[in-house]
Chain A
């Protein structure tokens, strides 16, 4: 718990000082970029409005105090509190990420099950499929899915709509590479488990191949993948930046991208900090899940 608080504090501090360490006057960005040729008075007003004229330590303390009370600052471009901006965009991205997560796990399980059942050829094919899937860039996969299912077949919309059909292509785009990674990780330990003596003894007791997989091997396969849930969340969020941009889907990722493009620093740092918080929470949940699946870890 203390470690998590430390990570969050360090993340906030690094972000704060990184912002200050970069040359350039934030006030100019607030007014409208370096080309705006704003008057000195307007710049001073902007500095005062955002507290940029205070000494650094006071800015830092105010910033930390703000974070504790849930204040992430004010967007330069949107002139709205960052928490409000994020709150508006979060549900869409959460729906996308959760759908992708479920799809990814389902696909990965399918791959691993198939590889555990099949012979050598299907194993090699499975490896190649997993590696290729894991290497597929979101922007390319998304474009191909649009071409096949939207342009050619016309089954699904190419621009994401809020309803279910609009969710399918973006979620698939996120899920397929994730499934490749999860599949690789799971199959490795599934192989180890299949080759182990407990698998042999289970077979000797008359366990069917399917029963062996679902009852005995799966637990071992899921473990390393569960410990990666924080990481999986990270890829989903960075994937969301690309997928939401590609499918013109409103959400946190697209907001972050637009903020990076417009150098709207408070939105960027705010989003990054919210993601850091979510990452810490999800890692914690992943540890719990691991303990749930692995009785060996409960005794400690």
Chain B
């Protein structure tokens, strides 16, 4: 998921100067241009400034959502469940910035209060997926051949339940609930992460500095914690931020289908599900929570990509 902004403008003959001998062994055609340590180039610095803007914007958006999740009362003092039938289907106005829904509940308040359940499901699902993927990935990328083989087969089988199909299967068996939806989404994203993490472990294991550590007689645990994990962790961290956007979207998709959080609650997907019926008379019921999902997912993804670049540079 790298993007090599700014590096394109660099004349190719400068590339070999960049990598310090200990670190950067090109391990494939894609790695050739990812040599860092060229901060001295003015074009690169200009690019950095631009990236920071993206970072800043996504960080501010995410922080706003986190603030809404931690202390929704600060941003929206009212109750998300307060019903006022007289005010039903009010279009957006000063009193109701995002309008009101079919029971006269304030949509803005509901969107703010919806941040907590929506983000929580996303974070928990990502965590479940990452833990599973770390185990599978470590087995595949670092273990002996039979373990690599086994982990590879397990990942492959998981892959054969693509997208939210595994989640749907689980929900069909156990019945809809937010907890099942979270676990299901976590299981669904795990194989993808596992493949990336396994590849990353494999790449790092073959790097020159790990070979050097072997020659120095370091034990496997020291090699793992001292060299392999720190170098692979960057990509894991990036995966987590990138994956967060995805899991938020999938969890809300399940709620939208009525298979996650049930409707009266202020959760973005559930709000979308309730608003869908009134799409043509009260579009703000769909637009407001949907935009919150898009903003959160996009901000997480953009931040993840930007952070990935920093990890690569350092």
Contacts and interface: CB of A to CB of B under 8 A. Distances in A.
A256 interface: yes
Contact of A11 (B157, B164, B290, B302): B157
Contacts of A134: 301
Contact of B172 (A191, A246, A265, A276): A265
Interface in B19-76: 29-30, 32-33, 47, 50, 54
A259 B163 contact: no
Contact of B259 (A143, A260, A283): A260
Interface string A133-149: 01111111001101100
Interface of B: 1-5, 7-8, 10, 12, 29-30, 32-33, 47, 50, 54, 153, 156-157, 159-166, 168-175, 192, 245, 249, 252-253, 256-259, 272, 276, 279-280, 283, 286-287, 290-291, 293-294, 297-298, 301-302, 305
Contact of A143 (B33, B258, B290): B290
16 contacts: A15-B169, A120-B47, A128-B302, A134-B301, A135-B249, A140-B272, A143-B290, A147-B280, A147-B283, A192-B4, A196-B12, A238-B162, A257-B257, A261-B259, A265-B172, A272-B168
Contacts of B8: 191, 194-195
A230 B191 CA distance: 13
A253 B168 CA distance: 11
A195 B245 CA distance: 30
Contact of B249 (A11, A137, A184, A263): A137
Interface of A is mostly: helix
B168 A235 contact: no
Given A7-B160, A147-B280, 19 more contacts: A7-B153, A7-B156, A120-B47, A124-B5, A134-B301, A135-B249, A137-B297, A143-B290, A144-B287, A146-B279, A192-B29, A196-B32, A230-B159, A234-B165, A260-B257, A260-B259, A263-B175, A268-B168, A279-B159
A241 B301 contact: no
B2 A188 contact: yes
Contacts of A123: 5
Q: Which of A15, A139, A265 has the most CB of B within 10 A?
A: A139
Nearest to A184: B1
A interface bracket (residues with beta carbon within 8 Å of B): 35 or more
A137 B290 contact: yes
A283 B1 CA distance: 21
B279 A143 contact: yes
Contacts of B252: 137, 139
A22 interface: yes
Given A135-B298, A143-B290, A195-B12, A276 B163 contact: no
B288 to A, nearest CB: 11
Given A192-B4, A235-B162, A256 B33 contact: no
A151 interface: yes
Interface string A214-255: 000000000000000011011101110110011000000000
Contacts of B286: 140, 143-144, 147
Contact of B160 (A146, A235, A261, A280): A280
A127 to B, nearest CB: 6
A206 interface: no
Contacts of A261: 258-259
Contact of B3 (A18, A187, A235, A269): A187
B46 to A, nearest CB: 8
A238 B160 contact: no
A151 B3 CA distance: 39
B142 to A, nearest CB: 22
Contacts of B302: 128, 131
A200 interface: yes
B121 to A, nearest CB: 14
A15 B172 CA distance: 12
B164 A241 contact: yes
Contact of A10 (B12, B157, B253, B258): B157
B172 A139 contact: no
Contacts of B293: 137, 140
A143 B283 CA distance: 9
B189 to A, nearest CB: 12
Given A144-B287, A231-B162, A6 B169 contact: no
Contacts of A237: 162-163, 165
